[in-house]
């Protein structure tokens, strides 16, 4: 019998002013895109902690999407630049950890780019499907001190 089609689980961190607003516009414009990603709204892509990206992988995510404002458009001036650098370095480490760097995607989407949001999200899901399930094992173990206090 045929394998059931692999559907990647994705977490999407969307900044409230650009990517988030863009996603809303995609909604109001009734654009269709695959439902694999669960959005989590943050004020700024600069708020996204790398711990979260890893927590997503730890919790079984196949991909993590981060949406921020275009360069120069960050509502908070420069948060998106910080995120870009963090993600760049994180990707390098992911490679060494055996997680394909492509599984973390950073995209600039403005509040007016509903269509772009739907497009890039669709594309990302497609790529994650093609990439298939994660081959690596659990990424980090919660050792005695690895768990953070709330």
Q: Rule CB under 8 A: which of 9-48 touch other proteins?
A: 9, 11, 21, 23-24, 26-28, 30-35, 38-44, 46-48
Residues 16, 13: Cα–Cα separation, whole Å = 9
- Choice from 79, 105, 120, 125 touching other proteins (CB under 8 A): 79
Single out the residue of 36, 40, 50 nearest to residue 16, CA to CA. Answer: 40
Closer residue to other proteins in complex, CB, 52/127? 52
What would the x/- binding string for other proteins be over residues 88 to 127, using CB under 8 A? Answer: xxx-xx--xxxx------------------x---------
Helices (H), the chain: 19-28, 50-58, 79-97, 114-131
Task: Using alpha carbons only, give the angle 9, 11, 15 rounded to the nearest 5 degrees.
Answer: 155
Task: Determine how β-strand 63-68 pairs with β-strand 37-42.
Answer: unpaired
Measured from the CB of residue 119, what is the shortest distance to other proteins in angstroms?
12
Work out whether 84 is an interface residue with other proteins (CB under 8 A).
yes
Rounded to a whole number of angstroms, the minimum distance from the CB of residue 102 to other proteins is 14
Minimum separation from the CB atom of position 41 to other proteins (A) = 7
Q: How far apart are the first and last CA of the chain?
A: 46
Closest-CA residue to 135 (of 102, 112, 106): 102
Site string for other proteins, 51-70 (x = CB under 8 A): xx-xxx--xxx---------
Tell whether residue 141 is a contact of other proteins (CB under 8 A).
Answer: yes
């Amino acid at each position: 019998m045929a394998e059931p089609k692999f559907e990647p689980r994705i977490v999407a961190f969307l900044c409230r002013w650009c990517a988030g607003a863009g996603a809303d516009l995609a909604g109001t414009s009734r654009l269709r895109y695959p439902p694999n990603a669960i959005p989590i709204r943050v004020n700024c892509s600069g708020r996204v902690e790398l711990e979260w990206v890893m927590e997503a992988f730890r919790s079984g995510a196949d991909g993590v999407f981060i949406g921020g404002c275009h360069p120069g458009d960050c509502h908070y001036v420069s948060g998106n630049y910080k995120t870009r650098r963090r993600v760049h370095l994180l990707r390098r480490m992911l490679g060494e950890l055996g997680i394909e760097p492509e599984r973390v995607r950073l995209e600039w989407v403005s509040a007016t780019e509903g269509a772009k949001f739907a497009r890039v999200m669709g594309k990302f899901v497609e790529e994650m499907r093609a990439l298939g399930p994660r081959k690596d094992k659990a990424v980090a173990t919660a050792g005695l001190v690895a768990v953070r206090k709330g």
